A = this chain, B = another copy of it.
Amino acid sequence: MPQPKGSKGRVTIIEIADAAGVSKSTVSLVLTGRGSVKPETRQQVLQVMDRLGYVYNRGAANLRNAQSRIVGLVLNDLSNPFFAEFAIGVEKVLQMAGYVAFMANTAESVVRQEQVMRMMREHGAGGIILCPALDTRPEHLDWVRVADTALLVAIRRLPGVNVSHVVPENLAGASRVTRHLVNLGHERIAFLGGMHSMVVRQERHGGFLAAMEAAGRAVDPALNLESMPTRDGGFGAMSAVLSLADRPTAVVCYNDVVAIGAMLAAARHGLVVGRDIAVVGFDDTSEARHVSPALTTVAVDPVGLGERAAALLLKQINDPAIEPESFIGPANLVIRESCGAYQRALAAAG
């Protein structure tokens, strides 16, 4: 007869000991594999555990240990495939090290972010990888100074927070894609999407400006529009810029999602992207490859960033005295159709 569910709480090490005719200490030894216990005894104990459906109580164990081998992964936007891939990289590395990642999604809410990080610390997480929500303030992370939970910030740099960072090379990447447009002969180039307050936008826009300046191109402030970093935001920003008297011939977008919105808006205005106007993005999400025309963008290898982040965090967990360290991941130009380079090459060849 199946035991009535949760009848008398969980079965403990002591009940196992009784049933196996040994002491709780012996059971603990087979559980941790630390001391030496006679093979037959171990077998016997394991068998009883299996029979009674024993589950280890990590809370109780941590009471003495404080080594929980879990790390928290806090994501600001799980619906963005970029972060899902980042998470996959993180998990890959943690798994090899015998850790398990507990993920949580904050959906850009700082309140929720505080909540889940507290929860993770309460559960004794050894470390936390944080992709910070939009308006995370440095003081939200004051706890690191005193805590025994390691912290690493990823994807979005958090100025004024002295912990390890793993971020993509936003500035250089934006420079590269902008230079590409310049080389294609564009003069009036717009920068669309993202909010001014976002650090990532500041970095990417900085790269844009640097490339424009280096090429001696004028930067028209009317061609710098902010928007929510969504498809709709991109659509709106592009519509706005197309209604100007003096339209740009190319636009650099904050990211791929914005770029895709911008392409839709261009099409709605009767423009053929890649011929009448060039549009480029950032991130190289899988959508970038599959929209039509395929999006020229900047690839940042989220999986690789995730792996680096996890590796760095583990290093920190193992040696808490270590100095914070930063890793800047590469961001390389991926030329497809939306910038018009392909069409141009065809024309030249034909």
Contacts and interface: CB of A to CB of B under 8 A. Distances in A.
A10 interface: yes
A210 interface: no
A5 B101 contact: no
Interface residues of A, number: 55
Interface in A219-246: none
A147 B5 contact: yes
A3 B145 contact: yes
Given A59-B58, A79-B81, A104-B103, A70 B119 contact: yes
Q: Copies of this chain, how many? A: 2
A108 B330 CA distance: 30
Interface in A28-80: 53, 55-60, 62-63, 66, 70, 78-79
A112 B84 contact: no
Interface in A311-328: 320-321
Nearest to A106: B91
A83 to B, nearest CB: 9
Interface of A: 2-3, 5-6, 9-10, 53, 55-60, 62-63, 66, 70, 78-79, 81, 84-85, 87-88, 91, 95, 100-105, 107, 112, 115-116, 118-119, 121-124, 143, 145-148, 260, 286-287, 290-292, 320-321
